[in-house]
Each structure stands twice: as structure tokens, then as C-alpha cells.
Structure 1
């Protein structure tokens, strides 16, 4: 099954998963994770590459993110196992992607969004609730570069 980041941004669904999905169904749908870690009082996390699925104490999906995007490290945005392959769309090898670049990509697809203040920095929030995050500091090229995607309601 192909999981498309474009569809995640539009719908908030990560392939067949939506917030509230059970951990058992997530594993059955996506295959065995690279890591299944207990986070103590807050719940647990499944890792598929750098795509992180957070579950509450009731083992219900409550957050999905990849906030470790690095265009120089393919493993930070590409993932494939026996059940799924992630189509990362703009999470790719392109260096120095800024808010303007991502805004244009969203507009080309007709996706509605707004620029928001996200913990003191500009980010993009889509109608689905997914946030596209950017670095708070400018890099050596003067760009506040893309850092990842987050659905954390």
C-alpha cells in the first residue's frame, strides 16, 4: 500500500489510519514498526523510519509526525516495508525549502492553508489540522528551512 504525504496533508489520514485508530490495527495495517517504545505515563510510539505514531494510554492513535526531516538523509523521509511505501511528495532531497516553496506546492494542488504562529515561528496549517513546520533560525543560506510535518491536535 502506498501512503501519500499529499493525502495525509489533505485529510489527516496516514494511509488507512486516522486519529483514534487502535495500536493493534495500526500494526496490522502498516506492518511491524522499526520501533515500538513505551513512553511511560503518556503512552507509546511506533516508528516507521522517521514517521512517528503516538498512542495514548488507551492505545489509540493521537498524533502523527515526522519532525526529523533532513533533505541530506533519505532515511528521514523515505520508508518502505513489506506492507507500505511512503510517497513523501515535497519531503525529498531538495535543499533549503522554505515556506514560500511549500506554499506554492500546496497552491498548485489547490490545497487550502493558512500561515500561523507555531510556538513563535511561522508554519503552515492545512484544513486537516496538519502543520508543516519550519526552522526558527535561518540557516547559512538565509532560509528558515522545512523541518517536518505534524498532526498533533
Structure 2
């Protein structure tokens, strides 16, 4: 009886590839779209605890003590909680304008354990009021345009299911770079039409 043997050789890069695939399989993705739809930032929502946040996103964060409230921040994604109970009452990023040379750092979020799907947010690009309406309509996310506060002439977009809000600025500036990609100057803009106002922040606050 004749036997045939087949040998499979793995090159060093194959081992590396296997390891990379294993890491990707364990990577958790936080989706901006889901936060806007549901009010849940991954598994974190209003009423979660500081411990919940740290267990998911890690101990490497910036911290602000505001007395009765405290803030822990990953990049510019901020989680507000009550000092006494450590219960989360707010989640936001209010640094979404493309007005700096490190805009990517303002809108990105992630580490070795998780990554962030930014949906419509793009490096060095502003998003307008009109564009947000289009994105929400396309995804069939119901919303309303409301005043920032009673008597205000400024409007925000509020998602009716999640209570996530978008606020905008009619005055903004863009960075002008030189040929070497270094900062050269600012360019100031003022928009008259609401549809052209630029996105400043995405927020969710509870009681």
C-alpha cells in the first residue's frame, strides 16, 4: 500500500498574520451610529457607573474633578458622573469642528481592546447642519429641530428615541497649512444659513 504525505509549511509572516487575526477577532467596535440611534456608547449609557467605563475602556484617561461631578475623558469623548454615586449622567464630544491640525485626535477613540467607528466624522472635514439631517433621514433616525433653550434663536437637532443632540456653530475657522504641512494661518468664516452651520458637539445628558 502506498501512502502519500502532504506537509504544510507556515512562513514567519503566516504566524504573524494568525496573531493579527486573533487580535482583530477580540477587538470590540464602538459605533457612533448606534450611540446616536440608541443612546448607548457600546455598553455604556446613562446610569452606568464609572467602574463600568474603566472596565471597558481602560485606566488610561484624563480626569477632571468638578466637585459634585467628575469627568473622565478618552481623547475628547467625555463621560460625566456624580461624585457621590459614580453614576453616569452625560456623554459628549464637543470638539468636532475641524479647526486644528490634530483634528484626528479630536474625533478618534480607541486602544488595543476596542476601536471606534466614526460613521460620518472625517479627519479635517466639518459636517454641516444640513448634512446631519441627511444622514439621519437616510438611516430613518427620527429627530426634531428645537431651540437650545426657551427663547433662544439657536437650534439643535435632537434624536427623539435616544435624546442624543447635535449642536452647531455659525462662526468657525479653518487651518491653513504651508507647503510643509505646518500651520500657516487661520481662515475665519461666518454662515448665514442654518443648513451651513458646522457641527460642534454630539451629546447625551440625563437627569
TM-score, scaled relative to structure 2: 0.68
Match of 1:132 among 143, 166, 178: 166
Q: Deviations over 1:21-77 (max 9, x none)?
A: 111111001112421332212x21110100000011210111000011123511111
Specify the alignment match of 2:205 in structure 1. 152
Gaps (5+ residues) in structure 2? Answer: 1-27, 173-187
What is the distance in 1 between the residues matched to 2:126 and 2:108? 18
Specify the alignment match of 2:112 in structure 1. 82
Aligned CA-pair RMSD = 1.8
Q: Deviations over 1:117-141 (max 9, x none)?
A: 1143111100200001111547626
TM-score, scaled relative to structure 1: 0.90
Report if aligned partners of 1:123, 1:133 keep a CA contact under 8 Å in 2. Answer: yes
Report if aligned partners of 1:134, 1:147 keep a CA contact under 8 Å in 2. Answer: yes
Q: Which runs of 4+ in 1 moved over 4 A?
A: none
What is the distance in 2 between the residues matched to 1:82 and 1:151? 26
Specify the alignment match of 1:30 in structure 2. 57
Specify the alignment match of 1:52 in structure 2. 78
Gaps (5+ residues) in structure 1? Answer: none
Number of residue pairs the alignment of both structures matches: 152
Measured after TM superposition, the shift of residue 96 of structure 1 is 4.0
Specify the alignment match of 1:9 in structure 2. 36
